[in-house]
Structures are given as C-alpha cells and as structure tokens.
Amino acid sequence: MYPLRPAAAAIGIWNGLIVGLDEDVRGLPAAATLDADGAVIVPGFHDAHCHTTSYGLGLVLLDLTDVHGAAAILEAVADYSARLDPQDWVIGTGYGGGMPLSEHLTRDELDRAGGGRAVWLTHFAGHSCVVSSAVLTAVGITSDTTPERGRIGVDAAGRPTGLLEEAAMDVVKDHVGPSSVEQLARAIDVATARYASEGITSFTDAGIGCPGLDHSPVEMAAYQRARATGRLRARAQLMVHNEKMHELASHADDAIERGLDLGLHTGLGDGWLSLGAMKIWVDGLGVEGADGSPDWDNDPELLRRDIIAAHRAGWQVAAHAMGDRAVDLVLEALETAGKAGPYPAQVTHPRHRIEHGGLIRADQLPRLRQAGMTVVTQPILIAEYGDLFAELVAAERLAEVFRVQSLLDAGIPVAGSSDRPVAAGSPLRGIQAMVQRLTASGTVHAPAERSTAADALAAYTVGAARAARAEPQRGTLAPRMAADLVLLADDPVTLPAEQVADIEVLATIAGGHVSHDGAGLLTNSGLSTVEMAAAAAAEAAEAAEAAEAAEAARA
C-alpha cells in the first residue's frame, strides 16, 4: 500500500519500526531473520469503528451472536440459567440473530426460560434490549411508566412486554451499574486476542464512558490496565461519548464552551493508547427513505450545539449518521462551527467523520469532500442485512445505501470497519463484502457501488489509519512506519472475491511484537510478544519509580 514501492520481498524491522525494504536491508546484520515461506504480507488491518468492551464482555458472558432463532435463543438462556444461583442475573449480548428486526422475545418467554430469574438480553444492533419480569420489577417499570426518552414496548392491554428501546435501556444499565476496571480489562484482553487472530493491529473503540455493564465512567483506566498487563494486543484509539461533555469556564479567546475537564481533546496519548473523536449519536438504527421521517436520537438543536462545541474544543467529530437528513445536520453544524471560529491552530485538520453513512444523497458528496470528511463504512452490513435495507428504503433510493465507489470517485476518503458486535468483525470478510456487495439472498446490492479489491484493502489499512489521523505512522509498509503487519496465506487483491474471507491469517505483528501466531510460523523466530513488551515496559516503569523513591529518600 506504499505508492513508491507497490511490492517488495524483504522487510527490515528495528525498535518497532520498518527501517527499509529489499536492497535497503538485504545483507544487514539482524538479531533474527524469518523466512515467511511465501506468505503475503500486508499492513496491519485497522477496524475504524467497533465496540471492544461490548464485544469482549459478550464473549465472557452469555454470547448469543451465533445463536439464531427465538427457540434456540430461549434454549441457550435456559441452559445458561441452570448453571447460576437463583439470585444471579442472566446477562446476554448479541441476541436477535435469525429474527426479523421488528420481532422480539417477551418478558413471559424470558420468565420461563430463566426460571424466574432476572434476564437481560441486549440486541445485536445495540439499540434495544429485552428483559424479564424480575428486571422490570427491579428497575420500577410498570404500565404507568412513561420514559423521558426512548420507548418501552407494551402490549394491547398496555402491559410492558419487556422490550426497551434506545435511551429507555439506560434505566437497566444504571441499575446494574458499570463493570469493574478489572472486568473490562479482561474483556479487552479477550476481544483484542480475537482481533489479532484476524490480522487487526489497531482499532477505534466507537464510544467509551457510556452507561451500562459494558462501559464505565472510568473506562480509560481499564484500557490503561490492559495495556500495562499485556492484555491490549492491538493499538487502541478511544472515542468519547458526547454525553460526557459539560459546560467549561474557559477564556473568551479560546471559544471553548463545552468539553471535557482540563480541555482534553483528540490526540492525547501515544501510538498504543490515545483519545480519538467525540462520538455524537445523531440518528438511530433506521435509515430514512421509506417514510422520510428522521430518527433523531436527541433534540436536533442539542446535537448541533454539541457538534459545534466539540469542533471548537479541538475534537475530531465522529457523527453516528445513518440517514441523509442526519448528514445534512452534521454538515450544517460544522459549517457554522467553522464560521464561528477556526479549529485550534495547534491541532491538525480535524478530519471529521461520518460513522455508517447508511443513506447519502448524490448532492451531499461535494459538501462532504469540501468539508474534508471521511465516511467510515461497514460493508459487512450489506452482506448480513442488505435484504432488510431493501425493505426499509424506497426502491428509487437503494443505490444511496452504504455507498462506497461513488464516495471514492468524488474524492471522499473511505475507512473500513465492522461495528462489531453488531456484525462480523473480520476485515477479510469486510473486504470481500465491499467487492461483492452480495446480500444473504444472493442479490447484488447497488452493483455500481462495488469497489476493487485494492481499494477495499486500502479502506482497511491506509484509509482507516487516515480516519484515525494516524497515516503518518501506520497503514502502509514503508520506512519509518510502525511495524504493524499481517502474514496471509494468499493475496486478497488477486484472489477471486468469493475466496477472500477464507484466507488464513498466519500471523500478526504489532509494533514489531507478535500478537498472533496461528500457524506457528514465528515460533523460535526470536521475536517477542505483545505481553513480553508490556511486561518489560512495566518493569522499566517500576524501576524508574523505585529510583525516584530512593533519590527522594536520600534528599
């Protein structure tokens, strides 16, 4: 993916960086030399939009991601419940596979499956959950409850069904409370180990600090603990949810009215753990086009306020915008923000982002390009839910759903991602989906939006790195870039598209350290692991602290 050197056969790594290719490094002395035995080496994949703690806890708790159909889900709940004490909650994630989006399990079904226990299942899309009667009682939801935001499902008699949508879920999240820092660090460990096995060397967690078991008000501490203990196996960039913003009393010249304490903003951190964008949820799951009604997640004026405030406070804005009217709101707010005051001179271009871009009109393309925005797309959603989009969106607008090629043709950067655990997370599956745009029924969805394999690979490497404002450090295999690379059993660019998802990931290297060695290719290579690097860093930090303490004692 390095334009000046499209292909090479030898690569040199020193101190976590690439130092040269081919003749630059051949014949030089090396601490270790590895024959990759014909493997295809590409830059490490970056998942530009995923939910790591949510995914990791789903693997640790009751994982329903691969359980399809109501009967199978209820059976899994019953089996899991049988292993718990009567007072324990059944907490599951990823439910809903094999069910229409409009259908949900009911409180009565969960009561029977859970043996009367508190049962809380979060839908794979993250916009709803279903709970048993014990949960409704615990959080005080009755037939008389009217939520300030979100929706509580009721039957014809007005009795709550157990379905909670959008902000109505917060009452359960607040009741259960956040996971501990150690629980979240364990989730990060499990999740990033899976990432490494799929060739992912870096990712953007799309929203920390939200309410719920899978988040915490001190979530950054969990990432710091995971890193210090060798359980962060890929570079992490963390978005902050805009609900964490609050009024700030800064100098008038700074024009910072809302933000985080101390003026923290995008860019704080280092190459392994840093703050990314401010996540602003503009609209929800549905896309407009079928009935034309916006699905705002909040008051549009409050959303405009937070977009403008985040821009002025030095944040990259990542706007969760599924529909075209949401994209309009974001563009208008950023235009206002730009006119009201320049982006802080000490910060690079904001590189604001549209997350998802489920529906983008042709007339919006020039405005997106002029605003310098990146569209962070999830091509796997076409493969898994493309047939559903065909039901939700008017037929004449289907070509506007999850665009890719028209964005690239218009000069708009595109970054690949998964939205995991909403959908499958393998970048190779995403690359295949971007090229094929094939739905579950075998329909080619908007064939003019199919991309080339090379462009799809770029979306998950240099494109995703650019979205993270990290392309000077990673995304290509070039001198002075981070030694983040993936060894594959075949070439995703030249292989027939239908075979790309099945390419074996032989090994993954992040920062010159082994994070995955599935084929044993790196065994006895002399290369250290991510865990060893973290342990060495921890030992060095402890030694430095001890030296400082000794110096203070002598003083």
pLDDT tens, residue by residue, 269-302: 999 999 999 999 998 655 544 444 555 657 889 9
Q: Are residues 187 and 170 in the same domain?
A: no
Report d(CA 173, CA 179) in Å as an integer: 10
User: Confidence class of residue 204 from pLDDT cuts 50, 70 and 90?
Assistant: very high
CATH code at 388?
Answer: 3.20.20.140
Q: Are residues 236 and 298 in the same domain?
A: yes
pLDDT of residue 294: 58
Residue in 375, 371, 359, 280 with CA at minimum distance from that of residue 318: 280
pLDDT of residue 532: 77
In sequence order, what are the beta bridge partners of 319? Answer: 280, 354
pLDDT of residue 289: 44
Q: Is residue 256 assigned to a domain?
A: yes
Which residue shows structure tokens 């630059």?
A: 24
Residue type, 130: V
Is the pLDDT at 319 greater than 90? The verdict is yes
Q: Is residue 19 assigned to a domain?
A: no
Domains in the chain, number: 2
Which residue shows structure tokens 């570079």?
A: 235
**Weakest mean pLDDT among 107-111, 510-514, 519-523:** 519-523
Q: Are residues 201 and 304 in the same domain?
A: yes
The residue among 340 and 116 whose pLDDT is bigger is 116
What Cα–Cα distance (Å) separates residue 398 from each residue in 5, 28, 341, 361, 392?
A: 39, 55, 38, 11, 9
Q: Is residue 14 assigned to a domain?
A: no
pLDDT of residue 275: 96
pLDDT per position as a tens digit, 397-411: 989 999 999 999 999
Q: Is residue 20 assigned to a domain?
A: no
pLDDT of residue 285: 54
Q: Are residues 219 and 331 in the same domain?
A: yes
Rounded to an integer, the average pLDDT of 344-371 is 87
Q: Is residue 257 assigned to a domain?
A: yes
Q: Are residues 166 and 236 in the same domain?
A: no
Q: Where among 144, 176, 208 does a domain terminate?
A: 176
pLDDT of residue 296: 63
Query: In this prediction, what percent of the chain has a pLDDT beyond 90?
Result: 71
The upper half-sphere exposure of residue 423, i.e. CA atoms within 13 Å in the direction of its Cβ, equals 22
Contacts 24+ apart (CB under 8 A), 241-250: 241/207, 241/208, 241/209, 241/210, 241/279, 241/281, 242/278, 242/279, 242/280, 242/281, 242/306, 242/310, 243/209, 243/210, 244/209, 245/278, 245/306, 245/309, 245/310, 248/313
Q: Are residues 135 and 275 in the same domain?
A: no
Rounded to an integer, the average pLDDT of 79-91 is 91
The residue among 389 and 318 whose pLDDT is bigger is 318
pLDDT of residue 342: 63
pLDDT of residue 346: 54
Q: Are residues 161 and 265 in the same domain?
A: no
User: Confidence class of residue 343 from pLDDT cuts 50, 70 and 90?
Assistant: low
**Weakest mean pLDDT among 166-175, 451-460, 468-477:** 166-175
Strand order in 45-50's β-sheet?
Answer: 45-50, 200-208, 235-241, 273-281, 317-321, 353-356, 374-377, 414-416
CATH code at 95?
Answer: 3.10.310.70
Which two structure tokens, joined as six digits, stand for 314? Answer: 């030095």
Report d(CA 93, CA 119) in Å as an integer: 11
Q: Where among 176, 191, 216 does a domain terminate?
A: 176
Count the neighbouring beta carbons within 10 Å of the beta carbon of residue 272. 20
Count the neighbouring beta carbons within 10 Å of the beta carbon of residue 220. 17
Q: Are residues 162 and 188 in the same domain?
A: no
Q: Is residue 278 assigned to a domain?
A: yes
Q: Is residue 60 assigned to a domain?
A: yes
| Mean pLDDT for the chain overall | 91
Query: In this prediction, what percent of the chain has a pLDDT beyond 70?
Result: 94
The residue among 224 and 398 whose pLDDT is bigger is 224
| Domain hosting residue 97, numbered range | 56-176
Report d(CA 319, CA 310) in Å as an integer: 11
Q: Is residue 22 assigned to a domain?
A: no
Q: Where among 474, 500, 526 does a domain terminate?
A: 500
pLDDT of residue 546: 73
Taking a C-beta distance cutoff of 8 angstroms, is the pair 467, 353 a contact?
yes
pLDDT of residue 203: 98
The helix/strand/coil state of 497 is: helix
Is the pLDDT at 156 greater than 70? The verdict is yes
pLDDT of residue 347: 56
pLDDT per position as a tens digit, 101-145: 889 999 999 999 999 999 999 998 888 999 999 999 999 999 999
pLDDT of residue 272: 96
Q: Are residues 222 and 169 in the same domain?
A: no
Q: Are residues 157 and 219 in the same domain?
A: no
Q: Are residues 159 and 205 in the same domain?
A: no
**Three-state DSSP string of 166-181:** HHHHHHHHHHHCCCCH
- Contacts for 206 with CB less than 8 Å, ≥ 6 apart: 49, 50, 51, 239, 279, 318, 355, 419
User: Confidence class of residue 46 from pLDDT cuts 50, 70 and 90?
Assistant: very high
Q: Are residues 320 and 434 in the same domain?
A: yes
